[in-house]
Amino acid sequence: MRRLLALAICAISFSASSALGQTLINGAGSSFAYPLYSKWTAEYSAIDKSVHFNYQSIGSGGGIAQIIARTIDFGATDAPMSDQELAKTAPILHLPTALGAVVITYNLPGSPALKLTPEVIADIFLGKITSWNDAAIAAVNPSVALPNTPIAVVHRSDGSGTTYVFTDYLAKVSPTWAKDVHVGKAVHWPAGTGAKGNEGVTGQVTQLPGAIGYVELAYAFQNKIPVAAIRNQSGAFVSPSVASVTAAAAAASKAMPADMRVSITNADGAASWPIAAFTYVLVYREQTDPARGPTLIKFLRWGNHDGQKFCEPLLYAPLPASIVKMVDAKLDSVTLNGKKI
């Protein structure tokens, strides 16, 4: 928890006014990507002391709302903007920065290693499975002494890209979820209590016996809480890792749409982690500020190349080479008052 507290304090410190002579770049959105962007901004500020970053981890929904309102220089989201959201703005580019895993984490005595099937996960979050010793959980965990403890579902309370990715997965594996709950950054949850941000869900799960929630892998790892292995589309039980997220991205990188908005949940392949996603930075194709625009694009070029080395230590998968090339082309298309940056 101390690591998350340090990150939060770091974000607060960024909110101070830019020092004299520095260019202030404001960003907001994804808590899923916050550990990575916190590292990127710290590393880049050490290289280029003329720039100062203020990134607020407010959830993907907030990042999208603020970029549409033009109150920030870049937004961050794990849920691609919808056609309806894009219609409200001048052209916005979706720039993948890394890939991450949404994981199922839980609080049980002794932190046993659990396996979960798509059906069990859906039924837990639908409120149909309510006890940890339910027969459906026991069937795939025969060697685990499951307690007769109520399951306390924890979900996001804010507009969240992590929620979008998780519900996108649930809608693919559960007809009931697809029909009754749907996919979204915010949904009407059939069960459980809400918490704000990946930070909030992690905190609730660690403090509440019998809890289960979904968070980005780095938050579970940093807090040393267990994550479940999940049976993927190929029938294999896999654990979340950089390798299994990379495997899930392999097919998507071959068929990436031109606008780069794509879902890679429930991917094919025996090694694929089933709840994986690209995380995106959102920028206006036409920049208007002669100081902030070029500075932002220079930073994003660095992130697309040098910044990728920081992905794996933070449990994100770096972008495939083909995606790096596509992002470079998108960055080349950005203009400042009609002229290429």
Residue 18 has pLDDT above 70, yes or no: no
Q: 209-239 b/e with 16+ CB inside 10 Å = b?
A: ebbbbbbbbbbbbbbebbbbbbbbbeeeebe
Q: What is the mean pLDDT of residues 115-124?
A: 98
Q: What is the mean pLDDT of residues 173-185?
A: 97
Q: What is the mean pLDDT of residues 20-42?
A: 94
Question: Closest Cα partner for 227 from 209, 215, 244, 210?
Answer: 215
Order of strands, edge to edge, in the sheet holding 276-284? 51-57, 23-29, 74-77, 276-284, 92-106, 211-216, 152-156, 193-195
* pLDDT at residue 12, as a whole number: 35
Question: Closest Cα partner for 260 from 239, 243, 283?
Answer: 283
Top-level CATH class of 102-254?
A: alpha beta
Residue 91 has pLDDT above 60, yes or no: yes
Report DSSP letters for 114-141, one per residue: -EE-HHHHHHHHTTS--BTT-HHHHHH-
Residue 300 has pLDDT above 60, yes or no: yes
Q: What is the mean pLDDT of residues 89-113?
A: 97
Residue 31 has pLDDT above 70, yes or no: yes
Q: 274 falls in which pLDDT band (50, 70, 90)?
A: very high
Q: 101-138 b/e with 16+ CB inside 10 Å = b?
A: bbbbbbbbeeebebbbbbebbbbbbbeebeebebeebe
Residue 212 has pLDDT above 50, yes or no: yes
Judged by DSSP in three states, 233 sits in coil
**Do the Cβ atoms of 222 and 315 come closer than 8 Å?**
no
2-98+278-340 and 102-254 share one fold: yes
Question: Closest Cα partner for 270 from 239, 232, 241?
Answer: 232
Q: 7 falls in which pLDDT band (50, 70, 90)?
A: very low
Q: From CA 148, how far away is CA 134, in angstroms rounded?
A: 8
Read off the tokens for 69.
Answer: 């309102």
Residue 246 has pLDDT above 50, yes or no: yes
* pLDDT at residue 4, as a whole number: 41
Domain edges within the chain: 2-98+278-340, 102-254
Q: What is the mean pLDDT of residues 114-123?
A: 98
**Do the Cβ atoms of 221 and 107 come closer than 8 Å?**
no
Q: 20 falls in which pLDDT band (50, 70, 90)?
A: low
* Angle at alpha carbon of residue 162, lines to 156 and 29, rounded to 5°: 90
Read off the tokens for 175.
Answer: 């007809």
* Angle at alpha carbon of residue 206, lines to 204 and 209, rounded to 5°: 90
Stated as kind and residue range, the H or E segment containing 258 is none
* pLDDT at residue 10, as a whole number: 42
Domain 2-98+278-340 falls under CATH 1.10.357.10: no
Q: 8 falls in which pLDDT band (50, 70, 90)?
A: very low
Residue 21 has pLDDT above 90, yes or no: no
Average pLDDT, the chain: 93
